Amino acid sequence: MRYAAITDRLAGLGSDKWAVHWRAKSLCADGVPVIMLTIGEPDVPTPAELIEAATRAMLAGRTGYSSGRGEEPVLAALAAKYSARTGRTVGVDQLMYFPGTQTALYAVMQGLAETGTEVLVGDPLYATYDGVIRASGARRVSVPLRREHGFHMLADDVEAMVSERSRVILINTPHNPTGAVLTRDEIGAIGEVAEAHDLWIVSDEVYESIIFDGEFASPFDDARLAQRTVVVSSLSKSHAVTGFRAGWCVGPAEFTHKLLPLSEAMLFGAQPFIADMAAIALSRTFPVTGQMREAYRRRAETLVRRLGNTTGLKVMMPQGGMFAMVDITRLGIGGEAFAAGLLEQEQVAVMPGEAFGTEGAGLVRVSLTVPDDDIEIACDRIIAFVERLTAGAA
Ligand SMILES: Cc1ncc(COP(=O)(O)O)c(C=O)c1O
């Protein structure tokens, strides 16, 4: 049978990169007590109030079709959020509700990028970006996020990679996997590159609420850049509702008008009862958001304190997000060998930095989404592993 070229463009994406994660899962299934530090799944339960809100909405009959743009209550809640954040009036005509950031990003990229164009994105990068860009037909162009600059995307590095085919700059702040939080000035400078070359900025802000150091900044909050910016985000990380799939995009009204038929073709709307839950989640601050942020900060600090003194390891304190990067270059082995050895010998699963791009070489990513006690035990085991490694090399 014949298949469309998109299946080839996406074939095999990710499977090798996640080898350690899948191996760890299968060890867990066999009863091996692996500490899973591979993925970013909040370790707190979804707030009962939000589950009740979705249940109430279902019982009230909010189980029919929705529209391509989304349900009125959640759109109104989002318009209020972004109007308050930007200080401008953000209308419902600038918003589209999607089942999660991932779907929003997919649709947005389909609306902006295509074969023959290029999407500039920082490397290291979030694992699914490659697939989203390739699916659009565009080519990914990597902008190196340099360790010596705390993995911040610098405008000069973006400018150096611009070509006549460039269409979109994809930014992510706070950043997965590095935890970098871009400053207003850095975003302003990247915005100048976008303006000079007439590029879109797609801003993935799924970790907006998880900042330990610095302030959140977005190109959408700058009135000048808002005309060329589309934000994608969700409640997944802020409200511990990853499986509910509650996300959105916000951008210029003309953009959402253009994207609407695509969303209708893709989705024919999302679930009204989840959208009602999202409207309630957005209506006020939920304690779970601050609790998760403080837990991640505390766990990252534990990693820095416990592993920072271990020969050969350098834990880079993230400024935000759910992960910490550990520099293992001085050990003389790559991230893949480190992660594989650590799993087999000490039953701790971390992600090799190479899974996130060329600039991830010599790093491993540690998820902060396990209880504090497990982080302490993982530190004991990592120290034991490193001591064995360095003793062997001596
Ligand atoms: C940078 C980034 N963007 C998007 C997503 C997907 O978020 P959602 O659950 O809203 O689809 C994730 C999930 O880990 C992420 O890390």
Kindly report, residue by residue over 7-30, the tens digit of the pLDDT. Answer: 999 998 866 788 899 999 999 999
Taking the C-alpha atoms of residue 318 and residue 329, their distance in angstroms, rounded to an integer, is 18
The pLDDT, as a whole number, for residue 276 is: 98
As a whole number of angstroms, the distance between CA 324 and CA 280 comes to 31
Q: Interior CA angle at 132 toward 121 and 13, to 5°? A: 100
**Is 42 touching ligand 1 by the criterion CB < 6 Å?**
no
What does the pLDDT look like over 191-239, one tens digit per residue? Answer: 999 999 999 999 999 999 999 989 999 999 999 999 999 999 999 999 9
Determine if ligand 1 sits within 6 Å of the CB of residue 174. Answer: no
Q: Is 48-283 the same fold as 5-44+287-393?
A: no
What DSSP string runs through 10-48? HTTTTTTTTHHHHHHHHHHHTT---EEESS---SSPPPH
Q: Taking 60 as the threshold, does the pLDDT of residue 394 lie above it?
A: no
In this predicted structure, what is the pLDDT of residue 312?
80
pLDDT per position as a tens digit, 117-173: 999 999 999 999 999 999 999 999 999 999 999 999 999 999 999 999 999 999 999
- Contact between 44 and 292 under an 8 Å Cβ cutoff? The reply is yes
Task: For residue 79, count other CB atoms closer than 10 A to its CB.
Answer: 18
Buried b (16+ CB within 10 A) or exposed e, 2-39: eeeeeeebeeeeeeebbebbebbbebeeeeeebbbbbb
Which of 151, 263, 141 lies closest to 197, judged by CA?
141
Any atom of ligand 1 within 6 Å of the Cβ of 203: no
- Chain centroid to Cα 367, Å, comes to 12
Residues in CB range of 219: below 8 A, 6 or more apart = 171, 187, 190, 191, 194, 201, 203, 225, 226, 228, 229
Span 271-324, pLDDT tens digits:
999 999 999 999 999 999 999 999 999 999 999 999 987 778 999 999 999 999
Arithmetic mean of pLDDT over the chain: 96
Encode pLDDT of 32-73 as tens digits: 999 999 998 999 999 999 999 999 999 999 999 999 999 999
Q: Decide: 101 in ligand 1 pocket, CB within 6 A.
A: yes
pLDDT for the residue numbered 308: 86
| CATH architecture of structural domain 48-283 | 3-Layer(aba) Sandwich (3.40)
Domain chopping of the chain, boundaries: 5-44+287-393, 48-283
Pocket of ligand 1 contains residue 38 by CB under 6 Å: no
Contact 134, 10 (CB under 8 A): yes
Q: Edge-to-edge strands of the sheet including 323-327? A: 35-37, 348-352, 363-367, 323-327, 314-316
Tell me, what's the pLDDT at 246? 98
pTM of the predicted structure, to 2 decimals: 0.96
**Res 393: pLDDT:** 65
- Res 17: pLDDT: 80
CA of 207 to the centre of ligand 1 (A): 8
Pocket test for ligand 1, best of 123, 126, 249 (most atoms within 8 A of CB): 126
100 lines ligand 1 (CB under 6 A): yes
CATH superfamily of 5-44+287-393: Aspartate Aminotransferase, domain 1 (3.90.1150.10)
pLDDT of 14: 66
**How far apart (Å, rounded) are the C-alpha atoms in residues 310 and 321?**
24
User: Tokens for 252?
Assistant: 């210029």
Handedness of CA 351, 357, 361, 365 (dihedral sign): negative
Q: How far is the CA of 353 from the centre of ligand 1 (A)?
A: 18
Separation of 206 CA from ligand 1 center, angstroms? 6
Name the DSSP class of 327.
E
